[in-house]
Amino acid sequence: MIWDMLKGEFIDVIDWTDDTRDTMVWRFQRHGNAIKYGAKLTVREGQAAVFVHEGQLADVFRPGLYMLETNNMPVMTTLQHWDHLFNSPFKAEVYFVSTRRFQNLKWGTRNPIMLRDPEFGPVRLRSFGTYGIRVSDPGLFLREIVGTDGEVTTDEVQFQIRNVIVARFSNALASSGIPVLDLAANTDQLADYLRTRIAPEIAAFGIEMPELFVENVSLPEAVEQALDRRTAMGVVGDLTKYAQYQAAEAMRAAAENPGGGAMGAAIGAGMGVAMGSQMASGPWGQAPATPPPPPAPEVVWHIAENGQTTGPFSRADLGRMTAEGRFTRGTLVWSPGMEGWTAAGEVAALAQLFTIAPPPPPPPAPKG
């Protein structure tokens, strides 16, 4: 009876109460890693307990209360070669893994992403957002990430995941073909696509990503300022009328402020003269007529005959040569832009020269 009391008094209780918000893995501290057979293991919701025996991954326990015996520790029983029940301690490392969701983790592009926009041409974009992760396979996470580390926080994991997000986001953005001005309407689709692309890569670490958000995609400051000016011009509309309106407002302000002095009066008079000359042709003035475009350059032609070339000739020159019989459909011609020498009858610009029939001969003179 006394032995049973002492034995019950020394039964181990193994648990972990997490008072942080960023600890992903914590190793249970036990001198010599000695755990009594029959110890009580408490695994709370959002946790998993992983036993490691002499460097080998053993049993994984999900939330619940366990008595550490051979019937619920099959891997450890095999590693320890337990053939029957006994009460001696065994050695094992116990790692508690937090399986809850770690959210509001930050990601962002360290360097701008270069891409070709259909409207603005080559542009540089930056982006940032948030994401959440959760340990989906405690044993795999322990093997791939933790190793022998006694405590792992999100800071040690998110750097690697952030690099994966940025790399996949850069590729997705450059290949999407979405115009810059339409990116704000497609951030949800980009985020869903990213999560799908990233899922297999982080699953190899025993991690899943339940959420990912693209919060902002921005242009360089100078480009944004130019875009603002372009938007302002679109709001103003007709710049001539806007300038006239501004001049009229300046004149009205000068008239309401007679203390402006001679300088204000001179400026107002100058504006008045300009306004008068503009308004003389209509209620709001007329914009100066657009000059006609310059005439197109005349096409010239070269002729190849008997192994020699002559020219250049204008189309009028060729017309006269046609009338004289010195230029026929079979004459080889060439003009800048043509691939090679071509018979004149096959060139559309010259074919008309051979379709104009000569006028009828004059009537014979009357005999006297």
Beta-carbon contacts of 354 under 8 Å, excluding residues fewer than 6 positions away, are 322, 328, 329, 344, 345
Residue 116 to residues 109, 122, 159, 174, Cα–Cα distance (Å):
18, 4, 29, 8
DSSP 8-state code for residue 143: I
Q: Which two tokens mark 235? A: 């709001």
Degrees to nearest 5, angle at CA 341 with 340 and 346:
110
Q: Is 144 helix (H, G, I), strand (E, B) or coil?
A: helix
CA 75 to chain centre: 48
Lowest mean pLDDT among 37-41, 191-195, 217-221, 340-344: 217-221
Cα–Cα distance measured from residue 37 to residue 39, given in angstroms and rounded to the nearest whole number: 6
Give yes or no for a contact between 312 and 304, defined as CB atoms under 8 angstroms apart.
no
Q: Which two tokens mark 314? A: 């204008």
Looking at every residue in the chain, the average pLDDT score rounds to: 80
pLDDT band at 221 (very low <50, low <70, confident <90, very high): confident
The residue ranking higher by pLDDT, 353 or 44, is: 44
Helices (H), 257-345: 261-279, 315-323
* Position 10 pLDDT exceeds 50: no
pLDDT at 3: 43
pLDDT at 284: 46
Cα–Cα distance measured from residue 58 to residue 79, given in angstroms and rounded to the nearest whole number: 8
For 70-88, give one letter per residue: b (16+ CB within 10 A) or e. Answer: beebeebbebbebeeeeee
* Position 1 pLDDT exceeds 70: no
pLDDT at 227: 73
pLDDT band at 162 (very low <50, low <70, confident <90, very high): very high
Digit-coded pLDDT (tens) for 98-153: 999 999 999 998 888 888 888 778 888 889 999 999 999 999 999 988 887 889 99
pLDDT at 273: 47
What percent of the chain is modeled with pLDDT above 90? 25
